[in-house]
Amino acid sequence: MSPRWLPAGWELARIRLLFAAMFVGILVVELALWNLQVARGREFQQDLARQSVRRVRIPGPRGRIFDCRGRPLADNRLSFSIALYLEELRPRSRKGSLLNEVQRTLDEVAAIIGQPPGVTSNDIIAHIRRRLPLPLVAWRDVSEAAVAKWAEMAIRIPGVDLYPEPVRVYPNGHVACHVLGYTRRAELQDVPEEPYHYYLADVEGASGVEKTFDYLLRGQAGVRLVRVNAAGYRYEDVDATEPAPGYDVQLTLDLNLQRAAESALDGVQGAIVVLDPSDGSVLAMASRPAFDPNVFVPAPSLEQWNALCKDPSLPLVNRAVAGAYPPGSTFKPVVAIAALLSRSIGPNTEFSCPGYLTLGNARFRCWDNLGHGTLDMRRAIRFSCNVYFYHVGLELGPQAIAATARAAGLGSKTGIDLEHEVAGFVPDPSWKRRTLRDVWRDGDTCNFAIGQGFLTATPIQMAVVASMFANGGRRVTPHLLKASRAPGAEEFVPVPAPAPQYVWPPSAVKVVQEGMRDVVMAPDGTGRRMFVQGYEFAGKTGTAEYGPKQEGRKRGWMIAFGPLPHPRWAAAMVVEDAVSGGITVAPRLQKFFAAALGAASTSEDRGL
pLDDT per residue as tens digits for the range 56-112: 777 788 999 999 999 999 999 887 778 777 766 765 555 457 778 788 888 888 888
Task: Spell out the alpha helix ranges (H) of 236-281.
Answer: 255-264
pLDDT tens digits, one per residue of 146-172: 878 777 776 667 777 776 778 899 999
pLDDT of residue 607: 35
Q: How confident is the model at residue 237 (pLDDT cuts 50, 70, 90)?
A: low
Contact call for residues 82 and 138 (beta carbons, < 8 A): yes
Q: Please state, in angstroms and rounded to a whole number, the distance separating the CA atoms of residues 5 and 30.
A: 39
What is the SS3 assignment for 238?
strand
Query: What is the distance, to the nearest Å, from the Cα of residue 107 to the centroid of all Cα atoms in its chain?
Result: 40
pLDDT value for 109: 83
What is the C-alpha separation between 392 and 550, in angstroms, rounded?
29
More confident call, 509 vs 234: 509
Residue 198, pLDDT > 70, answer: no
pLDDT of residue 602: 42
Nearest-angstrom CA–CA distance, 414 and 409: 7
pLDDT in tens, 536-584: 999 999 999 888 877 888 999 999 999 999 999 999 999 999 999 999 9
pLDDT over threshold 90, residue 585: yes
DSSP H or E stretch at residue 149:
helix 144-153
- Provide the CB-side half-sphere exposure for 527 (13 A, CA): 36
Q: Please state the separation of Cα 525 from the chain's center in Å.
A: 38
CB 280 within 8 A of CB 579: no
At 90 the pLDDT is: 65
Q: State mean pLDDT over 447-475.
A: 97
- CB contact at 8 A, 599 and 534: yes
Predicted confidence band of residue 35 (pLDDT cuts 50, 70, 90): low
CA 454 to each of CA 324, 357, 390, 556: distance values in angstroms, whole numbers, following the listed order: 11, 20, 16, 17
Over range 33-55, report the average pLDDT: 59
Query: CA dist 154 to 115, 150, 257, 597, Å?
Result: 16, 6, 48, 56
What are the Cα distances from residue 155, in Å, to 150, 152, 158, 161, 525? 9, 8, 7, 10, 76
How far apart, in Å, are the Cα atoms of 214 and each of 161, 244, 400, 415, 422? 32, 15, 42, 18, 21
pLDDT at 189 over 60: no
Question: Does residue 335 carry a pLDDT above 80?
Answer: yes
Q: What share of the chain is helix, strand, coil (3-state, %, to 5)?
A: 40, 20, 40
| 213 vs 80, higher pLDDT | 213
Report which secondary-structure segment, H or E, holds 335: helix 332-342
Give pLDDT, residue 284: 98
| Calpha distance 165→81 (Å, rounded) | 8
The rounded percent of the chain whose pLDDT value lies above 90 is 60
In a 3-state reduction of DSSP, which class is residue 53?
A: strand
Determine the pLDDT at residue 599. Answer: 47
Mean pLDDT within 303-327: 93
What's the whole-number mean pLDDT along residues 446-471? Answer: 97
Given a cut of 50, is residue 50 above it in pLDDT? no
Predicted pLDDT of residue 452: 94
Question: What was the pLDDT predicted at 569?
Answer: 97
C-alpha span between 228 and 51 (Å, rounded): 9
Residue 499 predicted with pLDDT over 90? yes
Terminal-to-terminal C-alpha distance of the chain? 140
Domains of the chain plus CATH, in order, are 54-251 (3.90.1310.10), 255-289+318-483+505-597 (3.40.710.10)
Q: In whole angstroms, give the CA distance from residue 229 to residue 169.
A: 39
Average pLDDT, the chain: 86
Query: Element (H or E) spanning 38, and its range?
Result: none
Give the separation between CA 60 and CA 218, rounded to whole angstroms: 7
pLDDT at 28 over 80: no
Please report the pLDDT score of residue 349 as a whole number.
96
Say yes or no to pLDDT of 272 above 60. Answer: yes
- Work out the pLDDT band at 271, boundaries 50, 70, 90: very high
Cβ-Cβ contacts under 8 Å for 220 (sequence gap 6 or more): 60, 243, 244, 246
What pTM does this model have?
A: 0.84
Rounded Cα distance, 175 and 182, in Å: 12
Q: Which pLDDT score is estimated for 606?
A: 40
Q: Lowest-confidence range among 176-180, 224-228, 393-397, 419-423? A: 224-228
State how far the Cα of 453 lies from the Cα of 458, in Å rounded to an integer: 15
pLDDT for 601? 41
Task: Give residue 42's pLDDT band: very low, low, confident or very high (50, 70, 90).
Answer: low
CA distances from 445 to 193, 438, 479, 493, 605 (A): 57, 14, 33, 49, 37
336 contacts 325 by C-beta, under 8 angstroms: no
What letter represents residue 265's amino acid? L
Query: Any residues with CB less than 8 A from the CB of 497 and at least 6 apart, and which?
Result: 279, 280, 281, 477, 479
Q: What is the mean pLDDT of residues 115-125?
A: 82
Percent of the chain with pLDDT over 70: 84
Q: Rounded to whole angstroms, how far apart are CA atoms 375 and 388?
A: 7
Answer yes or no: is pLDDT of 603 > 50: no
**Per-residue pLDDT at 44:** 52
Alpha-carbon span 484 to 93, nearest angstrom? 52
Across 34-43, 64-73, 288-297, 331-340, least confident range: 34-43
Q: Between 78 and 466, where is the model more confident?
A: 466
pLDDT tens digits along 370-391: 999 999 999 999 999 999 999 9
